[in-house]
Each structure stands twice: as structure tokens, then as C-alpha cells.
Amino acid sequence: MTMVSEPVDTSCVPGCGKECSGQGCKMGKCEDSSAEGETEKPAPAKAETKKAEGNAAFQAKNFEEATRLYGEAIALAEAAGEPVPGVYFSNRAVCLASLNDWEGARSDAAQALSCKDLTPAATKKALFQKSRAESRLLLVEELEATLRLADSLGLRAEVERLLGSDLPTKTQVDARADARKEAQAQAEASPVPQPASQAKEAGTARYRDGDYRGAITHYRQAMDLAPADDAGLRAQLLGNIAAACLMLKKAAECATACEESLALDSSNSKVRARLASAQVARGDFAAARATVGEVNGEDSALTNALKQIGSTEATLAEADQALSKGEPAKALNMYANLECSVLFDYPPLTLKMAHCYLDLRQYPRVLNTTQQILRSNPTSIDALLLRTQALYRNHNATADSKQWVEPLEQGQRLLKEALSLDPDHSEAQALRKRLRSLCTKHAELKELMDSREFEQGQAVIDSMLELCQDHPVLMASLYAERAKACMRLKDWRGVIKDVGQATYRNHSLVQPYLYRAQALQALERHEDAVKELESLLSWHQVESVYHKLEEAKFLLRKHKRRNYYEVLGVPSVASQLEIKKAYRERAAEWHPDKKSHLDEASKKNAEEMFKCIGEAYEVLTDPTKKELYEKGYDLEGINEQIELKKRRTNGCCGGRPGGGCC
């Protein structure tokens, strides 16, 4: 935020009807239009938004920014073809008064009074701003006219009470009259060129409307038209150009204009304050303090500038401390506020924000930020190093993909460039060595896996894991690759262990869950395998996982089904004669009539066994059912498949006996 004068405090009047702060009555504060009780059609939403932003800037004592925002609000309301609320002009008048721009404050207060939507409280505020400006400008006749207007509205006593010591004394009136006579004599002796004056006024009008580029154009035209020997006018125009450049956040151009202005008139404290603002914007606090110099309490512009320098340094130090303490979110918020308001041309601040993004794992933003820095400064070693770290930490390719080494190789190229600028940079050296080692070992791992030397591949993965302990996602992909090697070795417990390590570090990986389901099936933990795949399908709903789940459910039913060959006591290659013979023997042995002498539990068990023997015989002697049984179906599944086949047949033939397909 730019450095401007403090507002002049005022005393509260009886019947003000508003709460007063420690800095004076709210008659000197910017108000919301809702408080004014508007009766006209509301201003456009965009204009109201700008007005609210202006209020916030005013509360932060950023009066130049508030003036700009109120000007934009006025322009938006006019562009929409709606009446401009008087509070817009009234609020801008307060800001201009705080900047000691009494002509502007008087003009805006007059505009506010011409609006029909002001309440008595708002009217009183506008009358006070207009009369105070006229008092400061010693416009005695105009001041008296304003006070007569206040008298006609029954507000003169309150306005005069607010003015207090601002009412001009007789001595001041006489001095003003003498000054007018002297100015008139000087004007007659050496008149200011009319074109230059017109261009200057046009620039000022553009500035108040928030068109700062247009204002600069008019001010430069005025510079071209002004006499070369008129140092005062040229210094004033350069100061105005500097103010517009500062609003456009062009710190270098602002500083140049300020230096040229001060070379013509070194006594202008406002221009010195603007130069200090430009120097602070570029992070040169020492130069800003030297520009401000020794300040007495009477010069509000320089006093304000010195306060801003101190507060900016303190905020920057607090943000640096938060970052060093591991609070990147807090630090980033403070850095962002500084960048928007004060340090808008300070490249080291952008680097600090990139550090915050890195700690917050917002790697794409780090890459974008460092790219912007390197475009303006290709030799920034810190930006090269940060970009490499973002590439490394944003690495999420699987270890068996060809893209695994691409970000690491790109990082090595960046670090090579950094080391060409500073060969002794220890951090760049260490990181480059690590990335190069990872790439070399990855090539070795691929060769071992392709040649089916899985145990040696596991050893290489272990050495790679040691190199990336600070990168959980990269470690997860390596553990997943290690689990795949365990599968090739049929080390099912090793698979489960490595998958646990992988999913702990990166739960979004899919393949490790499939590896674990396969390992559980190999260990005949079919229920656990089904649960694993059900959990995976709940958040990764793809067809391949669904089919894996159906297959796991089938294997679970197969695992739970009765072994009919064991029930009959025959081998799986037994002939039909052998099956029938075994059935007769087993049925006779377990017939319930032969178990009538046993207790109830034994009888029930015999009945179940006899029933099971019958199921075994039914399935193994029916060619269709036996074929389905050999495929893994249990009795329920066999019946389902047979019923499905019947429905398909009936659906095709239309259910007509002997009928053909339609």
C-alpha cells in the first residue's frame, strides 16, 4: 500500500448518532451506502464491490488506493447508466482530504451534495468536507456560501462545531487576499501556458477516475507543453506521473519520475514519500529510510511513510519466522498480502512464496512460480533449485513405466545449469548426485526384472529406497515394484508386507491392492481377498476391478464347496462305474435307517452325510453338471448356470415346442 498522510481527526458533535473511535468522529470515516439509506435505484453490484474494497483500503490507511477504488466504483455506476450514489463522492472526498488534496475533496463533496439520495447524516458529512476544504484553501466567500447552505438545512451549528479550529481567522483571510493579488500579478507577468494547464487538468481527471495510464499520457503531454524553465510546474507534473505509476505498480518508473521531480524541487515531501514507496516495493528498505530521512511530527506524509517502512519490515520478518518454524500456510498468507499491497516488485518475495508452495505440496504452483522467475532472471540459482525440488517431489510415475526417469533427468539438467553458475553450491551438488544415482539404479532394476533376476532386483530397490526417504510417493511406487518381484518369487507374505508399505505412503495406488488380493488367494485366504477387492471397488469403480472381485467371489465359493470325490471316496479320474459302485457303498453305510440306534446329534450328522452323498452322485453322474463342477462351480452355481442356459434357450425359441427362432 502506498504511503500517504494521516486523516485529520475531528471532534464528535452532539447528536452525531454514531459511535466514535479513538481517532475522531465517524463523520471523517468512509461509510457504506446501506448506512446512507439510499432511496434511488441501487448501484450495480460491481460498483458496490469496488466501493467496499475502497472502504477496506481506507480503514487500512491506504488512501491513494481507496481513492482509486472509489473512482472505479463511480465509473462503473456511470457506465451502467445508473445514478451515482452520493456516498461514492462523499467517501472519495474523505480520502482526498486525508491526502491534503483540498481541491479534489471540495469538488467531490460538492458532487455528493448535488445527489438526491443523501440522508441528513450523509449531508452533514459532505457539508463538513466541503467547508473544511474551502477553509484550508481560504476560499472565504465559498465557505460562507456552504455554511449558509448548512444553515438552511439546520446543520450549520454542527458543521461549525466539526470545523473547530479549521475556521479561518481574520489574519488568514487577509493573507489569502494578499496571496491572491500576488498570484494575479504573477499570472499577468508570466502566464502559465493554457495548453499545459489543460493537459494537466485532464490528467488529474483521469487519475480520479482510476484511469492511470490515461493520466500519465496527459501528464506527459503537459510536460511537453510546459516551459523548460518552469521548474515548479515540471516538478509537479513529474510527481503526478510518479503517483499514477505507483498506482499501476510500476515501481521503477515511479522511482525515476520521483527522482526527476526532486531534482527540480527537493522540498516536496509527498514526492519523497512516493519515492520511498517505490523503493520499498522493490525491497530496498535502507534506500527508503534514507529517502525519508529525519522526520518531524508535522510532516504527515513522511511520518506515514516511515511507519509503513517499519510495519512492512516487521511483517516480512514475521512471515520469514513462520516459514522457518514450519508454518508455510501462515507465511504464504502474509507474503501474499505484502505482494498485493506493498512489495509488488520484489523478486525474493516470489521465491519465498515458492518455498511455501513447496512445503504445502502444491508442486504445480512451484513450477509455475519458478518459471516466471526464470523468465525474468535465468541465472537465479534458488529458482533452479526450487524447480528441481518440485519436479522431484511431484514425481508420481510407477517404477515400471518409461516416464519414471523423465522428471529426474530434467532436474539434473536444471542443477547442471545451477552448478555452472556456482560450482560450489553444496545443496545443488548433493541433489544432483542423488537424482543421478536414482536414474542409474532404475536402469539396472529394469534390466534385472526383464532377465527375471528378481532377488537381485529387490536388492536394487532397497538401495533406491534409501535414497528417497524424503519422498513418500516415490517410495510407494518402489515398494509396489518390490511387491511385484515377491509375486514372481511366490513370496506371498512378502507381497502382503510390501503392499502395506506402498499403500501406507500412497493409498491412491491401485495395483498394490490387486497384488495383495492375489497373494491372499494364494494363501487360501479367500474371504480376505474378497474384502480387499470390495474395498478397492468402493473408490476405484472400473470394470477390471469388478471382474477381479467376481473372480474372487467364485474362488471363495469353490474353496467352500464340498469335494464330491472325497465324499464318495474315489479319485478325480474315476469312471462312471466306479462312481456308481462307490455311491451304493457309501449310501448303504450312511443310510439313516442304519443309524437309528445313535443319539440325535449323530442321527442328524448321518442324514446330512447321506444327503451329501446323493448330491455327489447326482453331480458326478450328470455330464453337464460334472463339467460345471470341474470348472469350479458349487451346487448352487451349477443350478444357476443350468437355469441360465434354459432361459437363454427359451428366449431364443420363443417358448414354442419345436419352434424355431423368429
Output 178 or 400, whichever has higher pLDDT. Answer: 400
Q: What is the pLDDT of residues 622-634, one digit of tens each?
A: 888 888 888 778 7
Q: Helices (DSSP H) in 590-634: which residue ranges?
A: 600-620, 623-630
Q: What is the pLDDT of residues 58-67, one digit of tens each?
A: 888 888 888 8
* Nearest residue to 458 (alpha-carbon basis) of 483, 435, 437: 483
Q: Can you tell me the mean pLDDT for 388-408?
A: 91
Output 501 or 635, whichever has higher pLDDT. Answer: 501
Least confident of 58-72, 205-219, 220-234, 641-655: 641-655
pLDDT for 240: 94
Q: Can you tell me the mean pLDDT for 205-227?
A: 90
Question: Is pLDDT at 85 greater than 60 in this prediction?
Answer: yes
Q: Can you tell me the mean pLDDT for 166-178?
A: 61
Question: Is pLDDT at 606 greater than 70 in this prediction?
Answer: yes
pLDDT for 4: 33
pLDDT for 26: 39
Residue 10 identity: T
Residues 6+ apart with CB under 8 A from 213: 244, 248
| Maximum pairwise Cα distance, the chain | 143
Question: Is pLDDT at 11 greater than 50 in this prediction?
Answer: no
pLDDT for 12: 36
Question: Is pLDDT at 640 greater than 80 in this prediction?
Answer: yes
Q: What is the pLDDT of residues 259-291, one digit of tens each?
A: 999 999 988 989 999 999 999 999 999 999 999
For residues 357 and 349, the answer to whether their CB atoms sit within 8 Å is no
Q: Count, in order, helices (H) and strands (E) of the chain.
A: 33, 0
pLDDT, mean over the chain:
84
Joined grid coordinates for residue 455: 532377488
* Nearest residue to 257 (alpha-carbon basis) of 247, 269, 243: 243
For residues 350 and 369, the answer to whether their CB atoms sit within 8 Å is yes
Output 38 or 377, whichever has higher pLDDT. Answer: 377
Percent residues over pLDDT 90 in the chain: 44
Residue 57 burial by CB count (10 A; 0-12/13-18/19+): exposed, middle or buried?
Answer: buried
Least confident of 24-33, 140-149, 562-571: 24-33
DSSP letters spanning 546-590: HHHHHHHHHHHHHHHS--HHHHHT--TT--HHHHHHHHHHHHHHT
pLDDT for 169: 61
Please, what's the b/e burial string for 437-469 (b: 16 or more CB within 10 A of its CB; e: otherwise)? ebbebbeebbebbeeeebeebbebbeebeebbe
Q: How confident is the model at residue 27 (pLDDT cuts 50, 70, 90)?
A: very low
Least confident of 68-77, 440-449, 589-598: 589-598
pLDDT for 222: 92
pLDDT for 56: 87
Q: Residue 294 CB: number of other CB atoms within 10 A?
A: 6
* Nearest residue to 93 (alpha-carbon basis) of 60, 64, 126: 126
Write down how long the chain is: 662
Q: What is the pLDDT of residues 415-464, one digit of tens each?
A: 999 999 999 999 999 999 999 999 999 999 999 999 999 999 999 999 99
pLDDT for 186: 54
Question: Is pLDDT at 553 greater than 80 in this prediction?
Answer: yes
DSSP letters spanning 338-376: HHHHT-TT-HHHHHHHHHHHHHTT-HHHHHHHHHHHHHH
pLDDT for 20: 40
Joined grid coordinates for residue 561: 464347496
Residues 6+ apart with CB under 8 A from 272: 258, 262, 291, 292, 293, 301, 302, 305
Question: Is pLDDT at 38 greater than 60 in this prediction?
Answer: no
Q: Can you tell me the mean pLDDT for 364-390?
A: 93
Q: Can you tell me the mean pLDDT for 180-207?
A: 71
Q: Can you tell me the mean pLDDT for 335-342?
A: 90
Q: Which residues partner with 24 through β-bridges?
A: 21
For residues 516 and 530, the answer to whether their CB atoms sit within 8 Å is no
CA atoms of 524 and 530, how far apart (whole Å): 11
Tell me what percent of the chain is helix, strand and coil, each rounded to the nearest 5: 75, 0, 25
For residues 27 and 125, the answer to whether their CB atoms sit within 8 Å is yes
pLDDT for 192: 47
Taking CA atoms, 352 is separated from 317, 322, 357, 392, 554, in Å, by 12, 11, 9, 19, 57
